[in-house]
Amino acid sequence: MTHWPELAHDIAEDVLFPVADSVDADGEIPSSHFYALADAGFYGLAAPPELGGPTIDIGDLVAVVETLCGGCLATTFTWMQHHGVVAALAASPNTALRERFWDGLVSGSVRGGVAFAGAIPQPPLLYARRVDGDGYILDGVAPFVTGWGIVDVLQLSARDEFDDSIVHVLVDAAATDGITVEHLPLIAARGSNTVRLRIDGLVVPDEQVVGVVDPAVFAAGQLFGSWLNGCMATGVARRARTELAERGVDVRRFASDAEQVRASLDGAFAGTGDLSTARAAASELAVRTAAALVTATGSAASIAGATAERLMREATLTLVAASRPQIRSALLDRFGRGTD
């Protein structure tokens, strides 16, 4: 039986964290980081057992993602996108497409990325128009695409301009006719190579269509992703808490708050709470814990490249990364309390 959290801890402490500050400064993730994750089997976590994937329970999945985020957010933020492609192909009726990429995706020799954000807003930013006989034409913007130049294939999600269904397609992650790339200089995790894609008349044949789903089904699938993305904030908070403890700070209050945040996130995912409120609490905790670390570190934290300074920026990134209007409102409410 594989002990996934222990494996994640070893990679985070031995491979990721020792060079996390330099990765942040250089804006480039070593390929060895991704090879280490692949060698340990972490690229196949989203694959169901009936398709050759491992068995991992929710608690272990949380521990893995939090631990890796605390090791190197840029690496983990990029790696997390991969699982959206694996999960989508696992459920895809396009078996030929799945068979073409499956073994490589599960092993990590093929890396995937996702771009959901163009299909989420109303009106959408990315449209799909059905072509008589074969495939779709895509037009619009994929506003945030992580891993450009790192991933091999990209799942684009767009709204059908006629019936509002969500169209998922798999394309090569490369600039081509119909795709223009604009690099986005993020405040943290710059090594994730996050870009904006402008898409103009991109022709995608049916053989590259992962699936077409009802908007309600798409929204339900986003719930899991939003819950899992909360691990970025709790992972940053966990690392900041560890650094505080090493500086002799009493972290019992931070640890207690982290337990409450985790319970709120998991309860919301189970349907017994509000996910937006829980996500807001997670990011607030990350900012608060990182701010305490900056304070405990002192003036050295004001110098670019310090661990405390990096974690403060990473905590700030969690306020807006993979966010939604409801999360923003919940955060503004939390930050505005006590101002009257």
Q: What is the pLDDT of residue 315?
A: 98
Q: What is the pLDDT of residue 95?
A: 97
Q: What is the pLDDT of residue 1?
A: 62
Q: What is the pLDDT of residues 104-125, one digit of tens each?
A: 999 999 999 999 999 998 899 9
Which candidate, 320, 220, 240, places its Cα nearest to that of 280?
320
Please report the domains of the chain, with CATH numbers, ordered by start residue: 4-107 (1.10.540.10), 112-213 (2.40.110.10), 216-336 (1.20.140.10)
Q: Helix (H, G, I), strand (E, B), or coil: what is residue 175? A: coil
Question: Which ranges of the chain have pLDDT less than 70?
Answer: 1, 338-340
Q: What is the pLDDT of residue 71?
A: 98
Model pTM greater than 0.75? yes
Q: What is the pLDDT of residue 339?
A: 44
Residue with tokens 């900056």: 294
Q: What is the pLDDT of residue 324?
A: 86
Q: What is the pLDDT of residue 76?
A: 98
Q: What is the pLDDT of residue 104?
A: 98
DSSP 229-278: HHHHHHHHHHHHHHHHHHTT---HHHHHHHHHHHHHHHHHHTTSS-HHHH
Q: Are 112 and 79 in contact (CB under 8 A)?
A: no
Q: What is the pLDDT of residues 234-270, one digit of tens each?
A: 999 999 999 999 999 999 999 999 999 999 999 999 9
